Amino acid sequence: MIQSKYINWITAVAVIIALIAALLLINLSNAETVNSGTAQLYETKLFGGDIIDIDIIADQSDWESMLENAMAEEYIMVDVVINGTKFQNVGIRPKGNSSLTQVAQDSTTDRFSFRLKFDEYIKGQTCFGLDTFVVNNMLGDNSYMKEYLSYDIFNYIGVDTPLYDFANISVNGEPWGLYLAIEAYDDSYLSRVYGDTAGNLYNVKSMEMGNNDDNRVPNNGQMPDMPDGVQPPERGGIQLPNNGGFQLPDNEGMQPPANGGVQPPDNNAGQQSGNDVRLPQDNGSRDMQIRNGRWGQNQQHSGDANTQGNQAMPNQSMPNMRSEAQNGNIGRFGRGGMGGRGSSGGDLKYTDDNESSYSSIFNNAIGKTTSADHQRVIKALKNLSTGTDLETYFDVDKILRYMAAHTVVVNLDSYSSNMAQNYYIYEKNGKITILPWDYNFSFGGFQSGSASDVVNFPIDTPVSGVSLEDRPLFAKLLENEEYKARYHEYLNEIVNGYFSDGK
């Protein structure tokens, strides 16, 4: 029996041990909150730093048929050897919007971007734990660096960026090209970054004119609703190019110039075209190209446009202005219609509580979402409109980091311009953050009048073609002096850490 004189000492030691254990548990809990992601094998096996080697093994007739009908974005079954490991029965299809159309219209190349989906035909199959990834063709970027550097800057400043790396692709053993591989926003991403798949992802596409990744638009031959003042094209008539760099006129409809010619915008050379651009009439074999905010013409993709000064778009011809109307289907107008300019919720403005008012968001959900999920997003937007309880409904610090990187790389095919698209919303338990996507037009590759405009892009009003108030996510955060100062700190960190220090 333990003598009584030792009981007090034993009790004191036990209390101390219990306190230490409790403190350790609290610290571990906090550590899990800060870094709740789950390590995935594909982080090292696929995106480990070396150029990824991808050999696609396809039935030749299936492959050629997929390329011939690329605009349908239909999967075919292939085997894929990745860094020496073979995966069987993988789904692959062409992907994209403007880049897809441009390649499809160009008889000299089949260099499409692709989406590889490992569980398309075999349930549960992954690539070292990854459900899906895309390989982008970097069309219009002669440096092959714009999108890579953009994601690298987002990652550097602490945004929850998808993984990315260059990839050499071959098809049936024959070289196909150098691509940029990017982890898709899907269950694998959610598990890697957030530790579970409980949150919801929305791919915001205000100008969506085709299929959105894995969310298919029924091809029922019905003409979609057209905006006021816009006449649907006749069979064989005009088809709007996807994200082609022009802006639809405000409250004017589409008025083609007389005599089948081109009406240039009434503004100075080198400036954005704003509301002065008119859609050209279809001129058969002539392609249309926007440079310096003006319409130019070239013959058979020659690239010799009637332009002045620097290019506003990459040196790529716009697709032929011909309708793809086949079997009663007209063009690639998607869920959001031809809205643009922040229509259907892409601008993150609160309008009402009707889910249909935010089709650019909810029609592009990744996976299944419910009405209750949508209402949480709407509630956040409602609070954003008044600037109240922002930290309750938004991950403010992550969004400020996103804003800093996004401002530095000057990507105007985005929330920052009248396009109001090409970003993801991640929502969990009513709290929202913004995630980067589609940066092939970064570093001034879209709607930019001159190099000077790009270099001197404003940091406190980081929008173009719209007012800051038209983009409430940026406007409401910048109204707060504390948030604005933190945003400036992140800008300085990118400049001094990523660029000045030679990274």
Question: How do residues 163-186 score in pLDDT, each as one tens digit?
Answer: 999 999 999 999 999 999 999 999
Give the closest residue to 464 by CA, choosing from 444, 487, 484: 444
Beta strands in 39-84 (DSSP E): 52-57, 76-82
Q: Report pLDDT for 231.
A: 41
pLDDT of 391 over the 90 cut? yes
For 164, the token pair is 């990315």
For 376, the token pair is 């949480």
- Cα–Cα distance measured from residue 432 to residue 438, given in angstroms and rounded to the nearest whole number: 20
Highest mean pLDDT among 203-212, 323-332, 368-377: 368-377
Of 368 and 236, the one with more pLDDT: 368
- Cα–Cα distance measured from residue 206 to residue 204, given in angstroms and rounded to the nearest whole number: 6
Q: What is the mean pLDDT of residues 253-281?
A: 38
For 329, the token pair is 């289907």
Highest mean pLDDT among 221-235, 329-343, 465-479: 465-479
Tens of pLDDT along 488-500?
999 999 999 999 8
Q: What is the mean pLDDT of residues 416-426?
A: 95
What is the percentage of the chain residues whose pLDDT exceeds 70?
A: 66
Q: Report pLDDT for 110.
A: 96
Q: Report pLDDT for 286.
A: 29
Of 82 and 206, the one with more pLDDT: 82
Q: Report pLDDT for 130.
A: 97
pLDDT of 473 over the 90 cut? yes
Of 450 and 313, the one with more pLDDT: 450
Are 497 and 491 contacting, i.e. CB atoms less than 8 angstroms apart?
A: no
Contact partners, residue 333, CB within 8 Å, separation at least 6: 209, 224, 240
Q: Report pLDDT for 15.
A: 62
pLDDT of 6 over the 80 cut? no
Q: What is the mean pLDDT of residues 204-218?
A: 52
Contact partners, residue 166, CB within 8 Å, separation at least 6: 51, 52, 144, 148, 178, 179, 180, 181
Q: What is the mean pLDDT of residues 219-225?
A: 35
138-142, 239-243, 459-463, 488-492: which range is least confident on average? 239-243
pLDDT confidence tier of residue 34, bands split at 50, 70 and 90? very low
Are 338 and 240 contacting, i.e. CB atoms less than 8 angstroms apart?
A: yes
Q: Report pLDDT for 252.
A: 39
pLDDT of 268 over the 50 cut? no
49-53, 93-97, 256-260: which range is least confident on average? 256-260
What is the percentage of the chain residues whose pLDDT exceeds 90?
A: 60
186-200, 218-232, 444-458: which range is least confident on average? 218-232
pLDDT confidence tier of residue 449, bands split at 50, 70 and 90? confident
Q: Report pLDDT for 439.
A: 95
132-141, 253-262, 478-487: which range is least confident on average? 253-262
pLDDT of 309 over the 70 cut? no
Of 305 and 6, the one with more pLDDT: 6
Q: Report pLDDT for 330.
A: 26
- Cα–Cα distance measured from residue 390 to residue 367, given in angstroms and rounded to the nearest whole number: 27
Q: What is the mean pLDDT of residues 22-34?
A: 43
At 153, give phi and psi (nearest 5°): -70, -40
- Cα–Cα distance measured from residue 180 to residue 147, given in angstroms and rounded to the nearest whole number: 8
Using CA atoms of 469, 472, 474, 480 in order, give the dihedral in degrees to the nearest 10: 90
Q: What are the Cα distances from residue 334, in Å, to 40, 61, 134, 156?
A: 35, 29, 21, 35
> Regarding beta strands 200-204 and 294-299, do their DSSP bridges make them parallel or antiparallel, or are they unpaired?
unpaired
- The number of C-alpha atoms within 13 Å of 320 and in the hemisphere containing its C-beta is 18
Q: Report pLDDT for 24.
A: 52
Give the closest residue to 241 by CA, choosing from 440, 381, 97: 97
pLDDT confidence tier of residue 447, bands split at 50, 70 and 90? confident
Q: Report pLDDT for 46.
A: 96
pLDDT confidence tier of residue 93, bands split at 50, 70 and 90? very high
Q: Report pLDDT for 97.
A: 84
Of 278 and 410, the one with more pLDDT: 410
Q: What is the mean pLDDT of residues 470-484?
A: 98
Q: Report pLDDT for 277.
A: 31
Range list of H helices, 300-389? 359-362, 371-386
52 forms bridges with which residues in the sheet?
167
Whole-prediction pTM: 0.70
Give the closest residue to 210 by CA, choosing from 25, 6, 37, 71: 71
pLDDT confidence tier of residue 324, bands split at 50, 70 and 90? very low
∠ CA 258-262-267 to the nearest 5 degrees?
110
- Cα–Cα distance measured from residue 455 to residue 167, given in angstroms and rounded to the nearest whole number: 30
pLDDT of 462 over the 50 cut? yes
Q: Report pLDDT for 220.
A: 32
Q: What is the mean pLDDT of residues 469-488?
A: 98
pLDDT of 484 over the 90 cut? yes
Are 106 and 92 contacting, i.e. CB atoms less than 8 angstroms apart?
A: no
Q: What is the mean pLDDT of residues 2-23?
A: 62
Dmax over Cα atoms in the chain, in whole Å?
110
203 forms bridges with which residues in the sheet?
424
Q: What are the Cα distances from residue 478, in Å, to 72, 382, 468, 488?
A: 42, 18, 10, 10
Q: Report pLDDT for 23.
A: 53
Q: What are the Cα distances from residue 228, in Å, to 133, 251, 252, 346?
A: 38, 8, 9, 19
According to DSSP, residue 249 is labeled: P
- Cα–Cα distance measured from residue 109 to residue 112, given in angstroms and rounded to the nearest whole number: 8
Q: Report pLDDT for 279.
A: 31
> Regarding beta strands 52-57 and 164-171, do their DSSP bridges make them parallel or antiparallel, or are they unpaired?
parallel
For 235, the token pair is 């069979």
